[in-house]
């Protein structure tokens, strides 16, 4: 059974979200689309929170959130405990968001990224494992709020 990846966007992110869905399906993933489903203006926090709740609940292991820049939706998503959204603007930031931060949500900007580049970013993000080790302690500190030795 293929992994299901949850996706969501606002109106600005809608065109890129549709490309993300097709790309994920082409790679063999199942996709759960939480909206929006058109170019009609909507508020990005609503869709970011929907996606974050789906990941935080454990229903989905990973998600992709899209808005005009990726920034606004990532801020909304990151309000949820256990969800780590990273805005990636190139393949390096996508790789490092997985290796070092164990990002479980990728945030993309539909208006700021070439859509072909966005697919390359998505591929790198999907294919990069979390490095663990010293990074695991740091990721744990995100949700616990603990501050270790400085």
- Which residues form the catalytic set? 67, 100
Q: Which residues contact 116 (CB under 8 A, 6 or more apart)?
A: none
- The DSSP bridge pattern shows strands 30-33 and 63-67 to be unpaired
Say which residue the tokens 């063999």 belong to. Answer: 28
- Helices and strands per DSSP (H, E), number in the chain: 6, 5
Say which residue the tokens 């808005």 belong to. Answer: 67
């Amino acid at each position: 059974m293929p992994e299901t990846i949850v996706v969501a966007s606002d109106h600005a992110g809608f065109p890129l979200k549709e490309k993300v869905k097709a790309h994920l399906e082409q790679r063999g993933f199942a996709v759960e689309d939480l909206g929006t489903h058109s170019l009609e203006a909507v508020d990005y926090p609503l869709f970011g929170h929907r996606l974050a709740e789906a990941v935080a609940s454990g229903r989905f292991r990973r998600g992709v959130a899209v808005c005009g820049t990726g920034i606004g939706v990532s801020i909304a998503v990151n309000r949820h405990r256990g969800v780590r959204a990273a805005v990636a603007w190139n393949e390096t930031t996508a790789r490092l968001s997985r290796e070092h931060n164990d990002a479980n949500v990728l945030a993309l900007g539909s208006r700021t990224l070439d859509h072909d580049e966005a697919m390359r970013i998505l591929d790198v993000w999907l294919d990069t494992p979390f490095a663990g080790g010293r990074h695991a302690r740091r990721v744990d500190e995100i949700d616990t709020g603990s501050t270790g030795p400085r």
